[in-house]
Chains A and B, each alone.
Chain A
Amino acid sequence: MWKTGPARPHACGPGTSMTALLGAAMPAVCETSRAGALRASAFALVLALAAVASGCADHRGAGPVAQGDAQRGRQLIERYGCVACHSVPGVPSYGANVGPPLAKLAERGYLAGVLPNTREELVRWLRDPPAVDPLTMMPNLGVTQADAVDIAAYLHASP
């Protein structure tokens, strides 16, 4: 699928939820150049057009969790800044090792070591990890139901 790009995720710039969370701890490798931002926007636009062209249905609201738009999920992973803690296949990561790598997540037996790895449980986890396991270090990032469905679709599809 996607090749992991260089360690310059665009999603860690100002204004994203991860920046708000980590503040000064944010590494200095964020891409802030205008050219970089333009590239990222163009790429996102291409993906969005591809998604529309492929006739993706609107998965917002309480639709069947088994669906979900993996392409959109990949963009959401960048937006929510998941790579600040995890290495995610197909998303430019900087080898963050706060949480476990998310490669081959579909094959994983348990999510976060506590939940059976089904699509529904992954969505539940993404929406509010501390509600599932009060001890977890993974924060509630305010992921909406629709976003969680799409992110879960990407994570379960990625190699």
Chain B
Amino acid sequence: MTIRLRTLLVLAVLLVTLGATAAGLGVWLGVYDISAVRQHTDPVFRLLEYAMRRSVHAQAGGVRAPAGLDDPARVRAGAAHFVAHCVQCHGAPGVSPDALAFGLRPAPANLLPAGRDWQPAELFWVVKNGIKMSGMPAWAYRLDDDEIWAVVAFLRTMPKLTPAQYAELAGAVSGPPRRAPRPDNAAATRPGDVEAGRRATGQYLCATCHTIPGFVSANNQVGPPLGGIAGRAFLGGVIANTPQNMVRWLRDPQEVDPLSAMPALGLSEQDARDIAAFLYTLDEVGGE
């Protein structure tokens, strides 16, 4: 009995040492792809996302929301801060993020699901403290607690706004609307390429609003799933699904349907062709 136990212990120590060595070697060799052009693997992404949510939940435990959080005056004040500080990365109903956001990984989330589903304390904590290694800054140094609660109040209201209502509110609190990303008017030089389209789909943060087969993301139910888009009869529910219409929609959804919450993202004609080519490979409805 003793001998068997000792053998087991030795084996266990050996395995742990081997595992640690392999992991250390992997880190030292730089095996894991840290590039922001290529996404995390699905298990790593899910782990990081889950760990972030759990950490925020635990850290925000001591935070107490003020009474009357959703007071209209507070919402308006929060809207002003949002337009000044947040829309550049996160976008808004019908409004694209600035081009700088397209290179960020993790991608700045569309904030509709957070505003709708997160606890006010959690929203407050993230805005105030930021998130390590994510590009989400801590606003504690630039906004006081009252101002941050105003932002929280606005975040909770934003999911209920149509694009027109957001534009009206944003205009009322902060003057003329900010410029959308300037469309890239370079002419397309070749037919759409699926692989280039896959990369462009990653670049333009499509997965922050849509479930797309092959893309990791959280909070991706803002718009409809793109699995099966290849065979869908209509785009945006309003125009026939043809390659020309797909390119037209991708470049400027609101030119097709002024009511659409999907913003123009500044796609070039080539980007749009490439993304269309990629989307036309997605022929499984419900594929994830």
Contacts and interface: CB of A to CB of B under 8 A. Distances in A.
Contact of B221 (A99, A109, A118, A138): A109
Contacts of B239: 135
A112 B237 contact: yes
Given A109-B261, A114-B259, A98 B224 contact: no
A110 B233 contact: no
Interface string A129-155: 000110111100000000000000000
B117 to A, nearest CB: 9
A100 B222 CA distance: 13
B262 A109 contact: no
A110 B222 contact: yes
A128 to B, nearest CB: 14
A27 interface: no
28 contacts: A97-B231, A97-B233, A98-B232, A98-B234, A99-B233, A99-B237, A100-B225, A101-B225, A101-B228, A101-B285, A101-B286, A108-B221, A108-B222, A109-B209, A109-B223, A110-B93, A113-B223, A113-B253, A113-B260, A113-B261, A113-B262, A114-B162, A114-B257, A114-B259, A114-B261, A116-B160, A117-B159, A136-B238
A136 B223 CA distance: 16
Interface residues of A, number: 27
Interface of A: 85, 87, 95, 97-101, 103-104, 107-110, 112-118, 132-133, 135-138
Interface of B: 93, 110, 112-113, 159-163, 209, 221-225, 227-228, 231-234, 236-239, 253, 256-257, 259-262, 285-286
A111 to B, nearest CB: 10
B219 to A, nearest CB: 9
A109 B237 contact: no
Nearest to A85: B233
B192 to A, nearest CB: 21
A96 to B, nearest CB: 9
Contacts of B222: 108-110
A135 B238 contact: yes
B286 A87 contact: yes
A109 B159 contact: yes
A115 B161 CA distance: 8
A114 B159 CA distance: 12
Nearest to B231: A97
A112 B238 CA distance: 10
Contact of B261 (A85, A99, A110, A118): A110
Contacts of A137: 233-234, 237-238
B234 A99 contact: yes
Contacts of A85: 233
A153 B233 CA distance: 26
A133 B225 contact: no
A120 to B, nearest CB: 10
B257 A109 contact: no
B232 A100 contact: yes
Given A101-B228, A103-B286, A135 B257 contact: yes
Given A87-B286, A97-B285, A113 B237 contact: yes
A137 B256 CA distance: 13
Contacts of B233: 85, 97-99, 137
Contacts of B228: 97, 101
B285 A110 contact: no
Nearest to A93: B285
A108 B161 CA distance: 14
A99 to B, nearest CB: 6
Nearest to A112: B237
A112 B286 CA distance: 17
Contacts of B237: 99-100, 112-113, 133, 135-138
